[in-house]
Amino acid sequence: MQIKRQRFLLSALAMTLTTALAWSDDSKKSETENSLADAMSAKLSSTVTVSEAENQVEEKITNGSDKFGSDKERFSYFLGVDLGRSMEQLNSLYEIDQDIAIAGFTEALKGNKLKLSDDELSVVALEFEQAFQEASLKKIAEDQAKAKAESEAFLAKNAKKDGVTVTDSGLQYEVLKEGKGDKPAANAQVEVDYVGTLLNGTQFDSSIERGKRAKFGLNQVIAGWTEGLQLMNKGSKFKFYVPAELGYGERGIPQGDIPGNSVLVFEVELYDFTNEETEEKKAE
């Protein structure tokens, strides 16, 4: 029982340390196979040098030393805030009595006699872990069901708008600017500018903000992009409405601020592309 309790507490500590390290925007990107996020993150990492990043930090962020008398005070305050934020996240899924939680924290920190023995704490830890997991799964299911209903309602209404075309797969798009060049193949390497938003307008990605066009293979991204960009002539600008089935599905990308069952809205301008040779052509 003691081993399991330590494992649970170590998991909680790992979550706290992870939060502490996740202060930069780049850390919000996670590795996801065959996702648009993979291609974009790879390009983002090559656009900012270490010195540039350090300069940005020096210009925009201070270490707060002017607000405290010592590093001890500053570090202690950080740990308190970080633990509080972690507790706030827990509280959003499973209601916690904050006064009791603070009392337990204080007693443990001061080394006072605890109301529960180590064996009792081990049992409570396992019970809480199970209760929290159940609450988390319930919340995820509720959010996914709500998002799915909202997405389906939006797509049904949007499909009737003038200028919106719906493909057999369910992908919807508008032509904002018609190009005159050729169209890329499914295995093409493309060069684009794009902005990605959710239905509520929240922007989750933008090559324009990074100041550098994105380059990636169409066979490396979400299905909505693979299909959609093949409809574009070179020089075109389209607006895509990507159903979850052609995007990140019911799971979404929590680390990338994309909830499950989300419709993704992209404005994409195709500047250039190179079609890769097929194995058959290479053999000729």
Residues marked as catalytic: 194, 204-205, 222, 248, 266
CA pair distance 96, 102, nearest whole angstrom: 10
Report whether 190 contacts 220 (CB < 8 A). no
